[in-house]
Structure 1
Amino acid sequence: MTLGTLAVVVPAGLDDPALTSGGNAYDRRVIAGLGARGLEAGDPAALDRVLAGLPDGAVVLLDGLVACPAPEVVVPQAERLRIVVLVHLPLGAEIGADSSLDAREGTVLRAAAAVVATSRWTAERVISWHGVDRERVHVVPPGVDPAPRATGTDGRGRLLCVGSLTPTKGQDLLVAALAEVAELAEVAELPWTCDLVGPVVRDPEFAAALRLGRAPGAGPAQPDLAGRVQVTGPRTGAALEATYAAADVLVVPSRVESYGMVVTEALARGIPVIASRVGGVPEALGVAPGGRVPGLLVEPGGLAEALRRWLTEPSLRAELRRVADGRRSTLEGWEVTAARVGEVLRIVGAAPPTGRSVAAGSAVSAQVVPEQGAPWSARLSATGSPVCTPDWLALREPADAEARDRSLVDRLSGIRTVTDLGCGSGSMGRWLAPLLPGPQVWRLHDRDPVLLDRALAGMPRCGANGGPVRADAVLGDLTGLTAADLGGTDLVTASALLDLLTSDEVVDLVEACAGRTALFALSVSGRVRFGPASPLDAEFAAAFDAHQRRRVGGRRLLGPDAGPAATAAFERAGYTVTVRETPWRLGPARAALTEEWLRGWISAACEQEPRLAAAAPGYLGRRLAELAAGELTVEVGHVDLLAVPGGGS
């Protein structure tokens, strides 16, 4: 990556062990991954000196904690520097934050060439709170280092909470919940302890109350937990590793959390998580292959029941440990994070100095212009967004994993080599490889090198029987794919691909499979069902289906006709075809995906039928209000197709 001058400006005290934080860790790893200069700035004057010393046109990655309080410094420099602001947590989201910071932060972010947000939750707040153009906001989640499995203690009794001791992190909620649980007869005699690990200097009074085993402000009737709850202060290096190794469960009681790097750090060790359903925590928790969540998500302040269940239900603990162990294989490393930040910086560096509308391929709303003569390169998702955008792929992956039909996988046998066409970020491999016995060799095929890197980094290391899984990247377009290109392949697979092809391209794909087993998942079927229903549903659905069948660059896409077309083509080639309905089930539990899908669905319908534009704002507003109230459900139809050659089963 050639960027000319690149600097990363970070808060003072980045390496201070008394001030350990996820944001500091993120900054350090990005600096190392980019091979950049890390420049510290502790106040606006120091920031002004740092920026003034950089040459015109330099690309600068500014930590939001440094940049956002200082628009008087950043905005003038944005005229000559290519500034990218890294936002971990919007300033106004911190508990007790000065509300005047909101306006200052917005001024800075709107002036920046691009914004890197560490979670989808943060990105949406940057867009909605500050009016930053969606195409300039790029989601790059933190990575995590591989780690050995935690051995724990008795499998139940060592609870761990990691984070600065502040009201935002919510340790008082945890202590109050533990006090409530300690009074239950079924828990009273159980051995358990809870370590509160993290800096104490940000709110000494808050930390002092916790050190006494009491929630700050608790009345005299609260049980004495001094022998059970320990405030350890910050831990790093070997001491922190030993703490994780001894933990049975991580508890994240935060009131606000942009992502929650401690969640993935625990999951990297196979430690289940009990966490507040806030901010980006559900993103960090994610799902294991098969779609199960490796922990318990609760509403803020609702920890007591989850803790009671953890302490008293052995089967729950065993299941969560199994799922957490599966989630380990899907986590991405810091090299992926650095590569994605680097891609944003590269494109910012290549743009004209005044061109602040940057699309680095990671914004869900970016547009794709199909290439003439390259029929399989115009890959658009059901929202009208490129399916190759990392944000959209990450957003849909849990729903994809839950929807795919496991019974079709049970019919596969003798699979050793798999070619994953249009693999994107690798979600199909992360789902399927752990369900097949090893050894396996995967050929990950995509035209986007950044996505290929991500797919390779995220591939599971072993199959269902513990046998090894190896993955190789194949960079290139799907155009002109032949049977020779699939030589040695036992299984050809793809996800969300068939509906983006024409009927002739499906025939060509079947010919390329040349007697090999094929598993194609999640082709749109055109079936959409809302609850509650609206008279406008059918009109928007019909217009959207027509949009899916539109002509793109001279190609007529199959859209919802893809399943029947592929079935017919495989059957003509002598295959036995099994089709299963595999719908997404959307609603409050997947609010971010539901909203993104809904906006794209309505937008595509209006593009196809402009007369619907007048009704669209009201229709969208009502649906989003129902979603916010927990009342909206949507079933989005897909089909999975298994084609077995020679009439086999």
Structure 2
Amino acid sequence: MNQLFLAFPGNLDTPTGGYGYDRRIIAGLRDLGWQVELVPLGEGFPAPSAQTLVAAEKRLAALPQGSRVVIDGLAFGAMAAAAAALDQHLSLVALVHHPLCLENGLTDGQAQALRESEHRALAFARHVIVTSPATARQVADLFGYPAQRISVVLPGTDRPGTIAREPADGVRLLSVGTVVARKGYDLLFQALSGMRERNWHLEIVGGLESDPQCYRALLQQIGDMHLAGRITFHGAVPPDALSGFYRNADIFVLASRYEGYGMAYTEALAHGLPVIGSGGGAVRETLPDGAAIYCGIENVPALREALELLIGDAGARARMAQAARTAAEGLPDWRDAAAQFAQTLQELAL
């Protein structure tokens, strides 16, 4: 039987794209007959306490000699010393959703420290798995990691089946993502502030606890821009409820500053939604022409122009929705993703 240990920081049930990817890959590998043992590494990553790091290293050191261990990049990049100590004991694979130093809201010193730590840690990774070609290039460029030892395993998408949207009073906008600076909700609000005369409502689905200061600032921004009543935060919701939000929306918009892949974009495509997106990293490659409008990075005028177009033109929405459904047919599902993940690990054992 194929066996794998998967080590993760924090709570695996955290409702973010990265943890969601981990959960679906774990489930998919188990469906393929793999024995996947979970190794919790503790809280606070990517800036854990010294005690957490010591405890995490002890948990990993207790695994059988030669074990194949995939460590989520949110933890791996902060575990350079542990990776060095475990190099001869375990076969370490890093699962990098995006380089830690590229998270928004970091000081220059914090970003540099994370870059140096991740660079040191990756030197002891036998292989790196990433979720997009863009992230593969960044890992190679930022850390000098050999490109031939990086594998891309794209996230899967669920197939929601036929969707019949009920008519609504006004255009229903949907944005999905944890409320943190990187998701660019402040940019989206700026774009919408010039469109108060239009009939629209924005639903935001995503955890509110990761950055309370960011959430408070966004609430203040809504008040200052006189958008109260036009924007609703729903927090994190279960998968079935999230699919309901996609089914009831008319337009998906996410004004991210950066994405390692952008699973919310592809879920929107799978639900037949026209997409407006922005950001660096993998965003441009994730958004297909015809089904999506790419607005660059932190470009509020471009976001507003795209929103004006789609809110005001039902025909354009319908054409892009059809293109979205067509594009989604070429996306991998989660069985495909798990099979590719398994193949990557099996090739390492040869």
Shared fold (TM-score, shorter chain, > 0.5): yes
Counterpart amino acid of residue 16 in structure 2: S
Pick from 5, 8, 20 the counterpart of residue 7 of structure 1.
5
Shift of 1:123: 0.7
Counterpart amino acid of residue 124 in structure 2: A
Shift of 1:285: 2.4
Pick from 76, 90, 95 the counterpart of residue 67 of structure 1.
76
Aligned to 1:343: 343
SS of the residue corresponding to residue 249 of structure 2 reads coil
For structure 1, list consecutive stretches of 5 or more residues without a partner in the other structure: 183-187, 287-291, 351-649
Q: Residues of 2 paired with 1:59 and 1:23: CA distance?
A: 21
Contact 1:294/1:321 (<8 A) preserved: yes
Contact 1:162/1:197 (<8 A) preserved: yes
Aligned pairs for 1:208-607 within 5 A: 208-211=216-219, 214=222, 220=224, 222=225, 224-286=226-288, 292-300=289-297, 301=299, 302-350=302-350
Q: 1:154 to 1:282 in 2, by over 3 A?
A: farther
Q: 1:68 to 1:103 in 2, by over 3 A?
A: same
Q: Residues of 1 paired with 2:335 and 2:21: CA distance?
A: 12
Counterpart amino acid of residue 180 in structure 1: G
Aligned to 2:47: none
SS of the residue corresponding to residue 241 of structure 2 reads helix
SS of the residue corresponding to residue 316 of structure 1 reads helix
Contact 1:143/1:331 (<8 A) preserved: yes
Q: Residues of 1 paired with 2:291 and 2:89: CA distance?
A: 47
Counterpart amino acid of residue 137 in structure 2: E
Q: Residues of 1 paired with 2:212 and 2:327: CA distance?
A: 36
Shift of 1:313: 2.1
- The one-character-per-residue Cα deviations of 1:561-591 (angstroms, maximum 9, x if unpaired) are xxxxxxxxxxxxxxxxxxxxxxxxxxxxxxx
Q: Residues of 2 paired with 1:270 and 1:152: CA distance?
A: 10
Contact 1:62/1:83 (<8 A) preserved: yes
Contact 1:212/1:226 (<8 A) preserved: no
SS of the residue corresponding to residue 349 of structure 2 reads helix
Shift of 1:14: 0.9
Aligned pairs for 1:598-617 within 5 A: none
SS of the residue corresponding to residue 256 of structure 2 reads coil
Q: Residues of 1 paired with 2:94 and 2:269: CA distance?
A: 28
Q: Residues of 2 paired with 1:284 and 1:149: CA distance?
A: 23
Aligned to 1:534: none
SS of the residue corresponding to residue 233 of structure 1 reads coil
Contact 1:86/1:116 (<8 A) preserved: yes
Q: 1:104 to 1:55 in 2, by over 3 A?
A: same
Q: Residues of 2 paired with 1:170 and 1:323: CA distance?
A: 25
Counterpart amino acid of residue 63 in structure 1: D
- The one-character-per-residue Cα deviations of 1:122-176 (angstroms, maximum 9, x if unpaired) are 1111000000001001111101111134434548600000001111010111111
| Count, aligned residues | 328
Check if 1:121 corresponds to 2:131: no
Contact 1:176/1:214 (<8 A) preserved: no
Q: Residues of 2 paired with 1:76 and 1:113: CA distance?
A: 14
Contact 1:210/1:231 (<8 A) preserved: no
Q: Residues of 2 paired with 1:180 and 1:45: CA distance?
A: 52
- The one-character-per-residue Cα deviations of 1:76-117 (angstroms, maximum 9, x if unpaired) are 212221111000010000012322010110111121110001
For structure 2, list consecutive stretches of 5 or more residues without a partner in the other structure: 31-35, 43-51
Q: Residues of 2 paired with 1:49 and 1:77: CA distance?
A: 10
Contact 2:252/2:275 (<8 A) preserved: yes
Aligned to 2:149: 136
Aligned to 2:54: 45
Counterpart amino acid of residue 171 in structure 2: G
Pick from 172, 182, 192 the counterpart of residue 186 of structure 2.
172
Contact 2:71/2:93 (<8 A) preserved: yes
Shift of 1:72: 0.7
- The one-character-per-residue Cα deviations of 1:443-498 (angstroms, maximum 9, x if unpaired) are xxxxxxxxxxxxxxxxxxxxxxxxxxxxxxxxxxxxxxxxxxxxxxxxxxxxxxxx
- The one-character-per-residue Cα deviations of 1:350-381 (angstroms, maximum 9, x if unpaired) are 3xxxxxxxxxxxxxxxxxxxxxxxxxxxxxxx
SS of the residue corresponding to residue 245 of structure 1 reads helix
Contact 2:133/2:282 (<8 A) preserved: yes
- The one-character-per-residue Cα deviations of 1:326-373 (angstroms, maximum 9, x if unpaired) are 1232121111111111122112223xxxxxxxxxxxxxxxxxxxxxxx
Shift of 1:212: 5.1
Pick from 191, 203, 206 the counterpart of residue 214 of structure 2.
206
Aligned to 2:48: none
Pick from 101, 106, 116 the counterpart of residue 103 of structure 1.
116
**TM-score, normalising length: structure 2:** 0.89
Name which structure has the greater RCO, CA cutoff 8 Å, separation 6+.
2
Contact 2:258/2:279 (<8 A) preserved: no
Aligned pairs for 1:15-30 within 5 A: 15=13, 19-30=14-25
- The one-character-per-residue Cα deviations of 1:391-417 (angstroms, maximum 9, x if unpaired) are xxxxxxxxxxxxxxxxxxxxxxxxxxx
Aligned to 2:49: none
Shift of 1:296: 0.7
